[in-house]
Amino acid sequence: MNPAAYILPCLFFAVFCAAAFRKVKLYDSFAEGVKGVVPLLKSLFPYLAAILILASLFEASGLSAGLSKALAPVFTALGIPSEICGLVLIKPFSGSGSLALLSEILQNYGADSYIGRCACIVYSTGETVFYMSALYFAQKKEKSSALPVALAIVSNFIAIVLGCLFCRIF
Amino acid sequence: MNGLFLLLFLISAALITVRDPSAFLPALLDGAKDAIALCLTLAAIYAVWLGFLRIAQDAGLLCGMARLMKKPIRKLFHVEKEEAIEQIAVNLSANFLGMGGAATPAGIRAMELLGQEQRSQYARAMLFVVNCSGFQLLPTTVLALRAQLFAASPYEIVFPIFLSTLCALLIGIALVKLVYGRKCA
């Protein structure tokens, strides 16, 4: 068993005990917290739906495949293997999509290969930025979410290029 | 965002109409289905974590944690409000430990609270970029997948990933400071 698996149950146990010790009404308090779920989802859903519908169309239209083919030479020049261009492109849009692509790459090229290891780096470096922007900028109408999104994508991309470099060093 | 949305939508829609017009509506519906499925998953995750976090809050544990991380957070985000610092502390530590479920609701709360701060744009951009770097102690999903596919050494990838996510984090922070620092000063 992975030792990390013990962290969560221990954390819950410790916090509940500490709360009971400080005479918190656990049942009421827990329910009070859960109350926040519905308004949270209500504000998130419209933005999530818009982003995911766009992501689905982006993939189904073949635009993502075409883009990755067009950008392959650029990526290879930067040291990113051309086999994982699709992963780099889909990553900001879809978490489940990029996970499926990652397992496909690992199966095809082997988890220990250079390509496989680069794919792991690409998957881990950076979150699904557009999905996150839907979550984080949903609360307030904000015109300026484009700039933070661009900054996140640029910094993640530089880190991916560096990560593929690390893969060759280590 | 609106411009990008329109651009991507138009190009994708045009492409799919040329290739296979009957696939257009199913693609949209698939996306919407994904959104609903995701919302259900999120509802379950948030129900557990928000309940848990509320107990931690009522027990005064979040305040304690926020006090520990107050100085670096204040410095990085330029926030003064206790409540916002508390939520950011939860968000950052949950991210670092790989508990995305706990990180997101705290992050969203923090974004809301930061909206009332003086330098709100800077702080919100900073929180968003830091959250997008994917920085965490152990990349659990990748490790599980590698172990499943019989990698010779599933853990070998941990260090390079740690380095590259650290790069993403640092470059992101530097960029936000560069872009917004000039704007707000």
Position B130 scores a pLDDT of 92
Residues in B 22-81 with any Cβ partner in A closer than 8 A: 23-24, 26-28, 30-32, 34-36, 38-39, 42-43, 46-47, 50-61
Residue B170 has pLDDT above 90, yes or no: yes
Residue A92 to residue A151: CA distance in whole angstroms? 13
Whether residue B106 has pLDDT greater than 70: yes
Answer for the pair B19, A62: CB distance below 8 angstroms, yes or no: yes
Q: Where are the domains of chain B?
A: 24-184
**CB-based contact (8 Å) between B165 and chain A?**
yes
pLDDT for A157 equals 92
Q: ipTM of the assembly?
A: 0.82
Structure confidence at residue A143 (pLDDT): 60
Q: Determine the Cα–Cα distance for residues A101 and A107; give it in Å rounded to an integer.
A: 10
Confidence of residue B70 (pLDDT cuts 50, 70, 90): confident
- What's the average model confidence in pLDDT over B123-137? 90
| B87 in Cβ contact with B110 (< 8 Å) | yes
- Give pLDDT, residue A1: 52
Q: Is the pLDDT confidence value at B99 over 60? A: yes
Put simply, whether A1 touches B (Cβ < 8 Å) is no
Q: Where are the domains of chain A?
A: 1-35, 42-169
Min CA distance, A28 vs chain B (Å)? Answer: 9
pLDDT of residue A68: 83
Kindly tell me if the per-residue pLDDT of B173 is higher than 90: yes
- Report, as ranges of residue numbers, the positions in chain A whose pLDDT lies below 50: none
Query: Which residues from chain B sit within 8 angstroms of residue A70, using beta carbons?
Result: none
Integer CA distances (angstroms), B8 to A3, B11, B14, B20, in order: 44, 5, 10, 18
Q: Which residue has the higher pLDDT, B163 or B120?
A: B163
Whole-number Cα distances in Å, B33 to A56, A60, A93, B29, B108: 10, 15, 16, 6, 23
pLDDT score of A152: 93
Distance, first Cα to last Cα, chain B? 25
Average pLDDT along chain B:
86
Residues A32 and A14: their CA atoms lie apart, in Å, by 20
pLDDT at A127: 87
Specify the pLDDT at position A141.
59
CB A64 within 8 A of CB A58: yes
A79-111 residues labelled b (16+ CB within 10 A) or e (exposed): ebbebbbbbbbbbbbbbebbbebbbebbeebbb
- How much of chain B exceeds pLDDT 90, in percent? 18
Say whether residue B182 is in contact with chain A using an 8 A CB cutoff. Answer: no
Return the structure tokens found at A131: 């999905």
- Whether the predicted pLDDT of B161 surpasses 70: yes
pLDDT at B140 over 80: no
Distance CA B64, CA B86 (A): 9
Substitution target in B128, B138, B169, B179 with the highest count of A β-carbons within 10 Å is: B128
Task: Tell me if A124 and B164 make a contact (CB, 8 A cut-off).
Answer: yes
Residues whose CB falls within 8 Å of the CB of residue A20, separated by 6 or more in sequence, listed in order: A26
Taking an 8 Å cut-off on Cβ atoms, the answer to whether B133 and A126 are in contact is yes
